[in-house]
Chain A
Amino acid sequence: MAELSVAGTSSDTPALEARGIRKQFAGTVALEDADFSCRRGEVHVLLGANGAGKSTLVKILCGVQPPDEGTIHLDGEEVTMTDPIRAAELGVAAVFQELSLCPHLTVAENIMLAHEPTGPVGQIRSRQLRRRVSDLFEQVGIDHIKPDILVARLTLADQQLVEIAKALSHEPRTLIVDEGTSALGREEVRRLFDLLGRLRSQGTAIIFISHRMAEVREIADRLTVFRNGTNVGTVDAADMDEGYLVELMLGERIEKSFPERAPRPSSADEPLLDVTHLGAGDLLDDISFQLRAGEVLGVAGLEGQGQGDLLLALFGMVRRLSGEIRVRGERVRMGSPWKAIRAGFAFIPEDRKTQGLLQPQSLRENIVLASLGALTRHGLIDRSRERRTAESGMQRMQIKAASMELPVAALSGGNQQKVVIAKWLETGGDIFLFYDPTRGVDVGTKRAFYELIGELARDGKAVLLYSTELSELVGLCHRVMVMNDRRVVETLADNAITENAILAASLGVRERQVPEADAPTTQTAGGAS
Chain B
Amino acid sequence: MNTSARKRTTALPAWLLQGVTISYILLIVLFAIAAAINPNYASWANIRNLLQIGAFIGVIAVGQTMVIITGQIDLSVPWNLTFSAILMATLISHGYGTTTAITAALISGTLVGIFNSIGTAIFRIHSLVWTLGVNALMQGATLVYTHAQPPKVDVPPLVRALGSGELYGIPVPLMVWIVAGAAALVVLHRTRFGRYLYAIGNNESALFLSGVDSRKVYLGAFAMSGFCAALAGIMLTGYSSQTYLGMGSDYLLIPIAAVIIGGTNIMGGSGGYLGSISGALIVVLLQSVLSTMQIQEAGKDIVFGSIIIVLLLLYGRQKLSNH
> Which among B190, B199, B205, B208 is the interface contact of A361 at CB below 8 angstroms?
B199
Q: Which 7 A-B pairs have the closest CB atoms?
A: A341-B211, A370-B210, A358-B202, A362-B11, A338-B211, A372-B192, A369-B210
Q: Supply 5 A–B pairs (Cβ within 8 Å), ascending by A.
A: A358-B203, A369-B199, A370-B212, A372-B195, A381-B191
CA distance A381 to B190 in the complex (A): 6
Given contacts A338-B212, A370-B211, A409-B323, contact A376 B192 (CB under 8 A): yes
The 0/1 profile, CB within 8 Å of B marked 1, for residues 21-53 of chain A is: 000001000000000000000000000000000
- Structural contact, A337 and B211, CB atoms closer than 8 A: yes
Interface of chain B residues 68 through 124 with chain A (CB within 8 A): none
Minimum CB distance partner of A386 in chain B: B195
Q: Residues of A at under 8 Å CB distance from B?
A: 26, 315, 317, 336-338, 340-342, 347, 349, 354-362, 364-365, 369-370, 372-373, 376, 379-381, 383, 405, 407, 409, 423, 427
In the complex, B322 has a CB within 8 A of chain A = yes
Minimum CB distance partner of B11 in chain A: A362
Interface of chain B residues 193 through 212 with chain A (CB within 8 A): 195-196, 198-199, 202-203, 205-212
- Structural contact, B209 and A317, CB atoms closer than 8 A: yes
Q: A355-B209, A376-B192, A381-B195 are in contact. List 4 more A-B contacts (CB 8 A).
A: A358-B202, A359-B202, A369-B195, A379-B191
- Structural contact, B269 and A360, CB atoms closer than 8 A: yes
> Which among A357, A362, A381, A407 is the interface contact of B192 at CB below 8 angstroms?
A381
Smallest CB separation, A383 vs chain B (Å): 8
Given contacts A369-B199, A372-B192, A376-B192, contact A360 B186 (CB under 8 A): no
B residues less than 8 Å from A337 (CB atoms): 208-211
Given contacts A347-B209, A380-B190, contact A357 B11 (CB under 8 A): no
> Which among B190, B191, B192, B198 is the interface contact of A358 at CB below 8 angstroms?
B198
In the complex, B213 has a CB within 8 A of chain A = yes
Smallest CB separation, A335 vs chain B (Å): 12
CA distance A228 to B95 in the complex (A): 78
CA distance A383 to B8 in the complex (A): 10
B residues less than 8 Å from A360 (CB atoms): 12-13, 202, 269-270, 322
- Structural contact, B211 and A26, CB atoms closer than 8 A: no
In the complex, B10 has a CB within 8 A of chain A = yes
Smallest CB separation, A413 vs chain B (Å): 15
Smallest CB separation, B39 vs chain A (Å): 44
> How many contacts between A and B, using CB within 8 angstroms?
86
Smallest CB separation, A273 vs chain B (Å): 18
Minimum CB distance partner of A353 in chain B: B203
B residues less than 8 Å from A357 (CB atoms): 203, 206
B residues less than 8 Å from A356 (CB atoms): 206, 209
Minimum CB distance partner of B16 in chain A: A360
Given contacts A26-B323, A359-B203, contact A380 B186 (CB under 8 A): yes
- Structural contact, B206 and A355, CB atoms closer than 8 A: yes
A residues less than 8 Å from B202 (CB atoms): 358-361
A residues less than 8 Å from B269 (CB atoms): 358, 360-361
- Structural contact, A338 and B10, CB atoms closer than 8 A: no
Smallest CB separation, A363 vs chain B (Å): 9
A residues less than 8 Å from B270 (CB atoms): 360
Interface of chain B residues 261 through 293 with chain A (CB within 8 A): 269-270
B residues less than 8 Å from A315 (CB atoms): 209
B residues less than 8 Å from A373 (CB atoms): 192
From B190, B195, B199, name the one whose CB has the most chain A CB atoms within 10 angstroms: B195
- Structural contact, A354 and B198, CB atoms closer than 8 A: no
- Structural contact, A359 and B323, CB atoms closer than 8 A: yes
Given contacts A337-B211, A338-B211, A372-B195, contact A407 B13 (CB under 8 A): yes
Minimum CB distance partner of B8 in chain A: A383
Interface of chain B residues 227 through 280 with chain A (CB within 8 A): 269-270
Minimum CB distance partner of A358 in chain B: B202
A residues less than 8 Å from B190 (CB atoms): 380-381, 383
Minimum CB distance partner of B319 in chain A: A360
CA distance A379 to B207 in the complex (A): 19
Minimum CB distance partner of A372 in chain B: B192
Interface of chain B residues 293 through 323 with chain A (CB within 8 A): 322-323
CA distance A338 to B216 in the complex (A): 12
The 0/1 profile, CB within 8 Å of A marked 1, for residues 31-72 of chain B is: 000000000000000000000000000000000000000000
Smallest CB separation, B105 vs chain A (Å): 26
CA distance A381 to B188 in the complex (A): 11
B residues less than 8 Å from A341 (CB atoms): 211
CA distance A297 to B13 in the complex (A): 40
A residues less than 8 Å from B11 (CB atoms): 361-362, 364-365, 405
Minimum CB distance partner of B195 in chain A: A372
Given contacts A360-B269, A380-B190, A381-B190, contact A423 B210 (CB under 8 A): yes
From A337, A347, A364, name the one whose CB has the most chain B CB atoms within 10 angstroms: A337
Smallest CB separation, B89 vs chain A (Å): 34
Minimum CB distance partner of B213 in chain A: A338
- Structural contact, B192 and A355, CB atoms closer than 8 A: no
Smallest CB separation, A435 vs chain B (Å): 10
> Which among A338, A358, A407 is the interface contact of B199 at CB below 8 angstroms?
A358
CA distance A239 to B114 in the complex (A): 69
B residues less than 8 Å from A380 (CB atoms): 186, 190-191
Smallest CB separation, A294 vs chain B (Å): 24
CA distance A521 to B7 in the complex (A): 50
Smallest CB separation, B56 vs chain A (Å): 28
A residues less than 8 Å from B192 (CB atoms): 372-373, 376, 381
B residues less than 8 Å from A340 (CB atoms): 211
Minimum CB distance partner of A369 in chain B: B210
B residues less than 8 Å from A317 (CB atoms): 209
CA distance A376 to B186 in the complex (A): 13
B residues less than 8 Å from A354 (CB atoms): 203, 205-206
The 0/1 profile, CB within 8 Å of A marked 1, for residues 172-198 of chain B is: 000000000000001000111001101
A residues less than 8 Å from B212 (CB atoms): 338, 369-370
CA distance A357 to B208 in the complex (A): 11
CA distance A26 to B322 in the complex (A): 9
CA distance A354 to B203 in the complex (A): 7
CA distance A381 to B209 in the complex (A): 21
Smallest CB separation, A219 vs chain B (Å): 39
CA distance A243 to B322 in the complex (A): 43
B residues less than 8 Å from A342 (CB atoms): 211
Minimum CB distance partner of B207 in chain A: A369
Smallest CB separation, B318 vs chain A (Å): 11
CA distance A337 to B203 in the complex (A): 16
CA distance A355 to B210 in the complex (A): 10
Minimum CB distance partner of A423 in chain B: B210
CA distance A390 to B186 in the complex (A): 21
B residues less than 8 Å from A383 (CB atoms): 190
- Structural contact, A376 and B206, CB atoms closer than 8 A: no
From B192, B207, B209, name the one whose CB has the most chain A CB atoms within 10 angstroms: B209
Minimum CB distance partner of B203 in chain A: A358
